[in-house]
Amino acid sequence: MLILGISAYYHDSAIALLEDDKILFAIQEERLSRKKGDERFPRLSIQNASTFLTKNVMGGGRNKHTALNSSQDCLLDCIDAFVFYDKPFLKFERLLETYLTTAPKGFFSFLKAIPVWLKDKLFLKETLARELASVYSELYPHKSKSQIKAFTQKVYNNLYFSEHHISHAASAFYPSPFDESAILVMDGVGEWSTTTIAKGNSNDIQIYEELHFPHSLGLLYSAFAYYTGFKVNSGEYKVMGLAPYGVPKYVDLIKSHLIDIKDDGSFALNMRYFSYTYGLKMTNKAFDELFSHQKRTAESTLTQAHFDLAASIQVVTEEVMLKLARHTLKHTNSKNLVLSGGVALNCVGNGKIYKRLKAEGLLENLWIQPASGDAGNALGCAMAFYYLECGNQRHTNNTDSMQGSYLGISYDDNEVESTLKAQGAVYERHNFENLLNLTAQALNEGKVIGWHQGRCEFGPRALGARSIIGDPRNTTMQKTMNLKIKYRESFRPFAPSVLDSHISEWFELDCASPYMLLVAPVKSSKCYPMSESDTKLFGIEKLNVVRSEIPSVTHIDYSARIQSVHKATNPKYYALLQKFYELTSCPVLVNTSFNVRGEPIVCSPKDSFRCFMGTEMDMLVIEDFVLYKDAQSQENKTKFQNLKDSYELD
């Protein structure tokens, strides 16, 4: 059985294709459209999935599977079920009820939203069938009108809708390595649900408890992202990165005025301070007055007050996450926990859950869906259909089924070389051993390198397939990467990639973290104490203090967002780390996403070359090809010098 899962029309549009319980392909539309957070129907994703899988699966490639064979040249004809990630009528019900409840305040928001709903979203079955038929006719121009009509009817007859939080829960539980597990979903809002506690057992998921809109931990955090000058649905991780620079002085104010937190983690927001139920903004005048009119405009100077606001909401969020996780484990009588939803990308909170609840004896194992946002729901709704709707049996083997999250497109050497020639690039071709030696040596010399290998990652993290990498021992690497490569705010931390066998040697963590979703302290034996003058520094001044043997991945609170690298899922990146370790005795690299600020992570060789030329990276490695910046033509250097200006700031 082939199942196509679709997430679209809100943010982070994506698709996932399953063959029975195996994930064949998953990608976000933004990687192909080059529009960050692209919410449109994932047309390019479906087209590229068809091309990629026809070449690599149906054409007899190494990943050949039973349901696809070379005699079937149309991937879309092979699909048995099309599944959408939420239920539009339930969401529309929530919007209407909210507008009526808050009238007349929500009138302008109502006028903006309703035409879109009436045109595309409300009658989504017709919209999706029409969009899929359009892609079908473009992919297979030899198809007759009657064949296109038959396909359209097939879509209409085999189109299913999953509830938003069921999709999240399924994306967390079914790919996990657990036969049974507690499930905790935390996000902004789906149809009505904002927080869901469930239990997964074999092929079944049972919902135990839910919190409903407008009471949302995700929207509370987004409100502070908005108030501190960042974009909703993209700037929340900046608040998390900003928090260690501040003092959580507003915690009591938040808890006494904005949120009432119960012992079981349930909570209620005081809607007097928020306008997201009726307006186009997250907060209102009362919120601004509560925090002494300290709202920051985008791109303006960050002050200590903004650091303190970030620190405060992070502390409150961690408290809610911990209480919810504790209650979830107790209520479901499980020692395993899986997380999904946008709040599950708060890796600081995840790290606290793992450390605290394991110490309390409540938790043994934690697994987090790497694409925890709405993109991952494309996968979740497809899996929910396979297990819940079809009743198929589930089998686990102590490893997750995400394949390292390397589920997107790859490009062979012929495709790479063709692209490089078309771009007028100057390049060298090497066997893999030479490539490793050249790259490891360049890293040791302080070079910043674009690393493009294999299938691109599914989810918001670069995990060594489309990464910019550097030497973590370099004391200026963080500032160099932020200001000269990424063109982003200097306060933002970078993550370490570490060989899986060396995690506990360098970090206070006793489990794998393959998806960069756990924060833990750097090992104390690797850290340097702060001087008396260092401890008196405030805000961004703290950034320049060298805190450990790997200063470029050590945040100002001595923490790190860890990615453990495993040979089984990414043998090439693992080999590079191993080579760097042999050369330097350091099994860690700086890893950040291969893009500039406002740009989606690169996908194709053309994307990678453009980003390489438009930044101050020193070297680019794409499959078997190595490019040096100094060797490139002045024409290309000039052509791409304004790359960063072509993307809207996030």
DSSP labels for 491-537? T---EEEEEGGGHHHHBS--S--TTS-EEEEBPGGGB-PPPHHHHT-
Q: According to the model, what pLDDT value does residue 64 have?
A: 43
Q: Does 231 have pLDDT greater than 90?
A: yes
Average the pLDDT over 303-319 and give the result. Answer: 97
Share of the chain above pLDDT 70, in %: 96
pLDDT at 543: 80
pLDDT score, position 89? 81
Which position has the higher pLDDT, 483 or 137? Answer: 137
Q: Is the preceding omega at residue 600 within 30 degrees of 0, hence cis?
A: no
Q: Give first-to-last CA distance, the chain, whole Å.
A: 39
Q: Is the pLDDT of residue 73 over 70?
A: no
Mean pLDDT within 393-398: 93
Average pLDDT of the chain? 93
What would you report as the CA-atom Rg of the chain, rounded to the nearest whole angstrom?
24
User: What pLDDT was estimated at residue 61?
Assistant: 42
Average pLDDT over residues 22-51: 97
Both tokens assigned to 370? 């790497």
Between 218 and 475, where is the model more confident? 218
The tokens of 640 are what? 């791409």
Cα angle for residues 403, 407, 413 (degrees, 5° grid): 110
What's the CA gap between 219 and 520, in Å, rounded? 25
Check residue 151 and give its pLDDT.
Answer: 96
Task: Kindly state the average pLDDT of the residues 193-213.
Answer: 98
The answer to whether the CB of 323 falls within 8 A of the CB of 261 is yes
Q: Strand, helix or coil at 255? A: helix
- Exposure string of 302-321, with b = 16+ CB inside 10 Å and e = fewer, is beebbbbbbbbbbbbbbbbb
In the prediction, which pLDDT does 565 show?
98
Q: Please spell the DSSP secondary structure of 554-570, one letter per residue.
A: --TTSEEEEEEE-TTT-
* Assigned token pair, 93: 């019900």
Q: Which residues contact residue 238 at a Cβ distance below 8 angstroms, ignoring those fewer than 6 apart?
A: 225, 230, 489, 492
At residue 60, does pLDDT exceed 70? Answer: no
Token code pair at residue 582: 């042999």
User: In this model, does residue 67 exceed pLDDT 80?
Assistant: no
Give the model's pLDDT for residue 123. Answer: 81
Is 126 strand, coil or helix? helix
**Residue 210: pLDDT band with limits 50, 70, 90:** very high
Tokens representing residue 243 in the block? 């928090």
Please write the tens of the pLDDT for every residue from 174-185.
999 999 999 999
Q: Residue 437 pLDDT > 70, yes or no?
A: yes
Provide φ and ψ at 32, rounded to 5°. Answer: -100, -35
Predicted local confidence at residue 120, as pLDDT: 67
Across residues 484-504, what is the average pLDDT? 91
pLDDT tops 50 at residue 197: yes
Q: Average pLDDT, stretch 227-240?
A: 93
* Cβ–Cβ under 8 Å, residues 267 and 261: yes
In the predicted structure, residue 119 carries a pLDDT above the cut 90: no
Q: Tell me which residue has tokens 């100002």.
A: 556
Phi, psi of 472 (to 5 degrees): -70, -15
Percent of the chain with pLDDT strictly greater than 90: 82
Domains and CATH numbers, the chain: 2-84+123-161 (3.30.420), 167-372+388-401 (3.30.420.40), 413-646 (3.90.870.20)
What's the rounded mean pLDDT across residues 396-402? 94
Give me the pLDDT at residue 111, please.
Answer: 75
Q: What is the mean pLDDT of residues 422-446?
A: 98
**pLDDT of amino acid 450:** 98
Q: Are 618 and 448 in contact (CB under 8 A)?
A: yes
506 pLDDT more than 70 = yes
pLDDT tens, 440-474?
Answer: 999 999 999 999 999 999 999 999 999 999 999 99
Report the pLDDT averaged over residues 626-648. 92
- Indicate the SS3 state at residue 321: helix
pLDDT digits (tens, 9 = 90+) for 553-595: 999 999 999 999 999 999 999 999 999 999 999 999 999 999 9
Q: What confidence category does residue 69 fall into, taking pLDDT thresholds of 50, 70 and 90?
A: low
CB 435 within 8 A of CB 492: no
Instruction: Name which of 147-151, 535-539, 546-550 the model is least confident about.
Output: 535-539
pLDDT of residue 71 exceeding 50, the answer is: no
Asked if residue 242 has pLDDT above 80, the reply is yes
